[in-house]
Amino acid sequence: MTIIENRISKTIIIVSFFLNSFFSEAQNNSNTVTVTLKEVVLNSPKTFTALNKLPFAVSFQEVEQYQNIFQQITLQDYLRAVPGLFTQNANNYAQDLRVSLRGFGARSAFGIRGVKIIVDGIPETTPDGQGQIDNIPLGLLKNLEVLRGPSASLYGNASGGVIYLNTIDYIEGKNFQLRTRLGAFGLQSYQLTGSVKNDKTTALIHANRLLTDGFRNNSGLEQNLLNLKIKHKLNPSSKIQFQMNFTDSPRAEDAGGITLEDSEEDRSQARQRNLDYDTYESVNHFKIGLNWDKSWTDKIILSSYGFYSFRDFYGKLPFENGGIIDLTRNYFGLGSRLNYKIGKNNLQLAAELLNQSDQRDRYLNILGSQGSNSFSQEEKFQNFSFSILDELKLEALFFRLSLRYDDMRLGTDSFSQDQIYQVINPSLGVSYELTPFQHIYVNFSTSFETPTLSELSANPSGAEGFNFELSPSEAISYELGWKGQWQKFKLETNLFLIESSNEILPYELEEFPGRSFYRNTGATQRYGLELAAQYKYKKWEARTSITQAKYLFKGSNNNLDNALPGIPNSQIFLQLGYKTNNSLNFLITGEHIGDLYANNSNTVKVESFQNVRLQVGKSFNFNDIDLTFSGGINNIFNERYFDNIRLNAFGKRYYEPAPSRNAYLGFQIEI
């Protein structure tokens, strides 16, 4: 038996013993005490079913209460407590945060793959599966929801998991807020937020300017963001929500991957080739979206949305041929779903149309200067879907069945014939109410993931068109779980097994150092245990999550039984918070990230590490003006670890060192 199998077995035994002891005490207490619990209803499952009844793993986290002490630079700080979720690359602003859920998304060389990102009901992820979060207003986040498993029957392509972000509608009890952060590595963050509210309408406008030099050389960022959100009740049964986002990021630098020897010599150094070729990206992003909800009766509810997104991207990579990318993206979509209650059934019919068009140009990068055009093509990806979902409650049993059909058509102007993918993805879940506080569930679901347009256009032959030797990946997921909720305590644990085929992973070529290409690497198997717990006592809150899992190559793959690179087998998160109504607020968090591998052959092992951070805030009130002074220390014990691992990198340049111990101070005023 391997070490990780021993860990999983011991963890299951300990958890089982704890649960049995706790259940006995809780059930005995329930004989004499009646407790009324607030049910949490989520947006991400697309129905109005309470969280504890849903027959799949989903995490919900309130973050608004700690916003006045968070640093608010990266979404990573908000996601650490979610079991089964792993993030990297929080400090490389040119490549964006890498997110993986149960291994989905781990292949990403930049941005987010395989995991859907939704903000206030509008998708940030394109239909080909690319996602970015550089335009998300972190200072406005209210709560987040994470579906921790394949969700293609709800969200289609590249839905190995879903991160659903909800922002505030207005400033509670105030009209104006100024927030600033100053810290190590030249950090400057200035946020200005204003809101109004009456019986029918709420409106909020938010502006943010962020500057940092970064921990490493050539890793700075300059970003400006403007966000507008308006909600209005047309009548008692109808409401609309409008949102607008504009992001201007003139420079986000890329320090590049270095060797282990280089990192030991100087962790803050950039790769010399990245300096020579002036590697950075520039982004202009604009998005508008409209949501409309209409209730004809308490049994018939229609929800619709539409949006348009424009993205202008310019980036330099550390090589000459095609080393400068100029991308213009137009992306629009609309969708609608009708919920209808029939007896004990809650039936939903939904349709969605998404259309993405990318004009991709590549130029010679002559030591940082733009040369002649070496590649130019228009790429398109259109996705039409139709889905049906049914929920049925029979006594203590709750059934949820969903089925989605997706028709995807993609191609380029270089070839007249489109590539067509047509898939059907089902999901079936059943939960059983053991007691009013406890539910067990089982779930079966499938998912698929097409290559993204940027991956298809990264053709090793250098020719125009797509590399159609790259095939979509598919996965089947099985899940068994338990959820318990009491007045002060919540506990959730589950086992999962996922088998996939045609897994897509990146690699590099000697003639294009720093550029990622992609290939199918055969079948994989992923299985493990996830646990999450939360306990509240007066002004104290404790939270923990544990993930013990294996992610393995299977089938006829040359790397049979090797671990998938870039994903740790073990993760542990601990958090202790204290919050009073009007004065002191602090959080101390610690995490353990287990060993992982940097390449498919598992010849390069990245050692485990632990990281601890402290965040503190103190609030004062003067004549109805609220002032908050805050600060934090990241990496308290100055742990030497890596912020990102570049998978299968050529020349052993796998490593991007994480920042050393650093601190920040904050100030907030609300009127």
Residue 248: other Cβ atoms inside 10 A: 17
Give the pLDDT confidence score for residue 18 in this predicted structure: 37
Distance CA 573, CA 610 (A): 10
SS3 per-residue string spanning 488-533? CEEEEEEEEEEEEECCEEEECCCCCCCCCEEEECCEEEEEEEEEEE
Q: CA 667: distance to chain centroid?
A: 28
The residue type at 159:
S
Instruction: Give the lowest-confidence range in 118-122, 524-528, 561-565, 639-643.
Output: 561-565
- Scan for tokens 């300990």, then name that residue: 14
Give the pLDDT confidence score for residue 332 in this predicted structure: 97
Instruction: Give the lowest-confidence range in 34-43, 379-388, 629-638.
Output: 34-43
Mapped onto helix, strand or coil, the DSSP state of residue 3 is helix
Q: Name the DSSP letter for residue 651.
A: G
The residue type at 421:
Y
- Scan for tokens 């050389």, then name that residue: 217
Distance CA 533, CA 11 (A): 14
| pLDDT tens string 237-275 | 999 999 999 999 999 999 999 999 999 999 999 999 999
Distance CA 61, CA 143 (A): 6
Average pLDDT value for residue range 168-190? 96
Contact 615, 577 (CB under 8 A): no
Contact 307, 333 (CB under 8 A): yes
Contact 20, 12 (CB under 8 A): no
Distance CA 336, CA 354 (A): 12
Contact 535, 541 (CB under 8 A): yes
Distance CA 54, CA 441 (A): 8
Q: What is the dihedral of CA 392, 394, 395, 397, to 10 degrees?
A: -70
Contact 466, 452 (CB under 8 A): no
Contact 547, 573 (CB under 8 A): no
Comparing CA positions, the residue from 187, 200, 192, 202 lying closest to residue 227 is: 192
Instruction: Give the lowest-confidence range in 8-22, 201-215, 221-235, 597-611.
Output: 8-22
Hey, which residues does 440 pair with through a beta bridge? 432, 482
Tell which wins on pLDDT, 414 or 618.
618
Q: Name the DSSP letter for residue 254.
A: -
Which one of 2.40.170.20, 3.40.630.30, 3.40.50.11740, 2.40.50.100 gives the CATH number of domain 35-670? 2.40.170.20
Whether 347 shows a pLDDT value over 80: the answer reads yes
| pLDDT tens string 491-539 | 999 999 999 998 887 777 777 766 778 888 888 999 999 999 999 998 8
Give the pLDDT confidence score for residue 516 in this predicted structure: 77
The residue type at 496:
F
| pLDDT tens string 59-100 | 999 998 889 999 999 999 999 999 999 999 999 999 889 999
Contact 309, 282 (CB under 8 A): no
| pLDDT tens string 268-301 | 999 999 999 999 999 999 999 999 999 988 889 9
Contact 473, 446 (CB under 8 A): no
Dihedral sign, Cα of residue 159, residue 160, residue 162, residue 163: negative
Whether 5 shows a pLDDT value over 50: the answer reads no
Whether 32 shows a pLDDT value over 60: the answer reads no
Contact 613, 627 (CB under 8 A): no
Mapped onto helix, strand or coil, the DSSP state of residue 274 is helix
Binning pLDDT at 50, 70 and 90, where does residue 158 land?
Answer: confident
Q: Which tokens in the block code for residue 469?
A: 């030797």
The burial of 192, by beta-carbon neighbours within 10 Å (0-12 exposed, 13-18 middle, 19 or more buried), is given as: middle
Whether 23 shows a pLDDT value over 80: the answer reads no
Distance CA 54, CA 39 (A): 12
The residue type at 63:
V
Q: Name the DSSP letter for residue 52.
A: G
Distance CA 40, CA 85 (A): 21
Percent pLDDT > 90 in the chain is 74
Comparing CA positions, the residue from 408, 382, 252, 384 lying closest to residue 330 is: 382
618: left (phi over 0), alpha (psi -120 to 50) or beta: beta
Give the pLDDT confidence score for residue 416 in this predicted structure: 65
**Size of the chain, expressed as the number of residues it contains:** 671
